[in-house]
Amino acid sequence: MNVITIESEAFRQIIDKLQGLEEKFIKMKMDAETPLSERWLDNQDVMLLLKISKRTLQSYRDERKVPFSQVGNKIYYKASDIEKFLKKNYQKINNF
C-alpha cells in the first residue's frame, strides 16, 4: 500500500471542495423532485430560460407582463407564471 502525504491546508481545501460538491448535488436532487410549477426562479434563471437580457426582463416587470415577488433586492418568479407567459405569447402557425 502506498502512503501519500499532503499539507494539512491542502487537505482542508480538498475537504471544502468535496463538501461544496455534496451541497450542490443535494440541491440538484431536491430541485429534480420539486414539480416545475412549484419552483421559484431568480432573475438569472428566467433570463437563461427565456434567452433574454436583464433589461428585457426588467421591462417585462415594469409593463406588468410577468408577475414577481421581491424580498429585499432579490426578485423571484414562479415557474408556473413564466410558463403562462410563454403560452400567452404562443403564436400558432397554420399550415397552408
Q: Residue-wise pLDDT tens for the chain (96 aa)?
A: 888 888 999 999 999 999 999 988 887 777 767 666 678 999 999 999 999 999 999 999 999 999 999 999 999 999 999 999 999 988 888 876
Both 86 and 56 in one domain: the answer is yes
Average pLDDT score, the chain: 89
Query: Which range marks the domain in which residue 65 is found?
Result: 39-90
Number of domains in the chain: 2
- Report DSSP letters for 17-44, one per residue: HHHHHHHHHHHHHHHHHS-GGG-EEEHH
Do 24 and 49 have their domain in common? no
- On whether both 86 and 44 belong to a single domain, the answer is yes
Residues 50 and 31 both lie in one domain? no
CATH number of residue 57's parent domain: 1.10.10
- Are residues 54 and 79 part of one domain? yes
What are 64-86's pLDDT values in tens digits?
A: 999 999 999 999 999 999 999 99
Q: Same domain for 45 and 28?
A: no
